[in-house]
Amino acid sequence: MYKPGMLRKATSFVDPDMVDPEEEAFEDVDFNLYHVTTNLSGVKKSGRLKSRSQLGVIGLGGGPADVVSTTYDYSKARNLYSDMQFITELVAGKVRASLVWSVLTEQLTDYEIEELLPVPLYYLQTKEDRRKFIDGNEEILDRHLMKPKDIYEFYQELEEAVVNIEGERELAGDPHFQSVPGFLGGFEQMKQINPANIAIIQVVARKGAQSETIPEEKELRFKPDDLRIIRYFQP
């Protein structure tokens, strides 16, 4: 587990005021470094992590293509892992549109859910269907969104709307941590992901490495050569 010249803890790379373990929002954070991969077989083969630009792919989240994103919150890593598994089921045709709506709105207030309504209502062609949806009959979506590709694009639209809402929370001074990862890959690309290749990778970072901190996402971004793998697991 120990690698000379490498550090395990995120607190070695960020301003302590940005990730203070004494603050309520960070009380359950362990500050180890985790990366979620969709290419475990490739990671095993190369023995290292690569950036999106090195791999030539688009996957989770945004940010520069020449860095590797890590999180210092294991619960977020678990959530990302679960989100990826959910998406592989969605593109395989195993997830209905009504479940997508339920999953992406479960942490929102009633007022915030109202802000999201234009997204699903766009797909409902009659006033009667729209009324039913607003009244709580979310399954009405399943009659209009049946193809996996359409459901995946619906998921992406909802994600973007949720990110906008959470941005409004942040501007208002409310506690904010991004709850959706941001799936930028297209439908055909996501179909290529093998669920067996999704894993959480724990890494250590080179002492003195330059990193970028994204505190609202509990994230640190490193150049690939500054990271070393110490273990991987699939919860």
User: Taking 90 as the threshold, does the pLDDT of residue 141 lie above it?
Assistant: yes
Is 36 inside a domain boundary?
A: yes
Q: How far is 140 from 134, CA to CA, in rounded Å?
A: 10
How many independent structural domains does the chain possess? 1
Q: Is residue 175 part of a domain?
A: yes
Query: Does residue 19 fall inside a structural domain?
Result: no
Question: 176 with 202: CB under 8 angstroms?
Answer: no
Per-residue pLDDT reduced to its tens digit, 72-108:
989 989 999 999 999 999 999 999 999 999 999 988 8
Residue 209 lies in a domain: yes
CA nearest 185: which of 163, 161, 160, 153?
153
Considering the domain boundaries, does residue 205 fall inside one? yes
Pairing of strands 33-37, 6-7: unpaired
What does the alpha-carbon distance between residue 47 and residue 99 come to, in Å, rounded to a whole number? 37
Residue 17 has pLDDT above 80, yes or no: no
SS3 207: coil
Residue 101 Rama label (left phi>0; alpha psi -120 to 50; beta): alpha
Tokens of 166: 């959470």
In a domain, 165, yes or no: yes
Looking at the domain assignment, is residue 1 inside a domain?
no
**Residue 22, domain member (yes or no):** no
Token pair listed for 188: 């055909």
Please list the residues that pair with 231 across neighbouring strands. Answer: 202
User: CA 232, CA 201: separation in Å to the nearest integer?
Assistant: 4
- Confidence class for position 65, pLDDT limits 50, 70, 90: confident
Of 231, 235, 214, the C-alpha closest to 70 is 214
pTM over 0.95: no
Give the domain extent around 112: 6-14+28-233
| Burial class, 127, CB count within 10 angstroms (exposed 0-12 / middle 13-18 / buried 19+) | exposed
Which of 61, 73, 62 is closest to 10 using CA atoms? 73
Residue 22 pLDDT level (bands cut at 50, 70, 90): low
For residue 23, the model assigns a pLDDT of 57
Q: What are the tens digits of pLDDT across the range 217-226?
A: 888 999 999 9
**Of 176 and 149, which is predicted with more confidence?**
149
Strand partners, 205: 7, 227
Q: Say whether pLDDT at 61 is over 70.
A: no
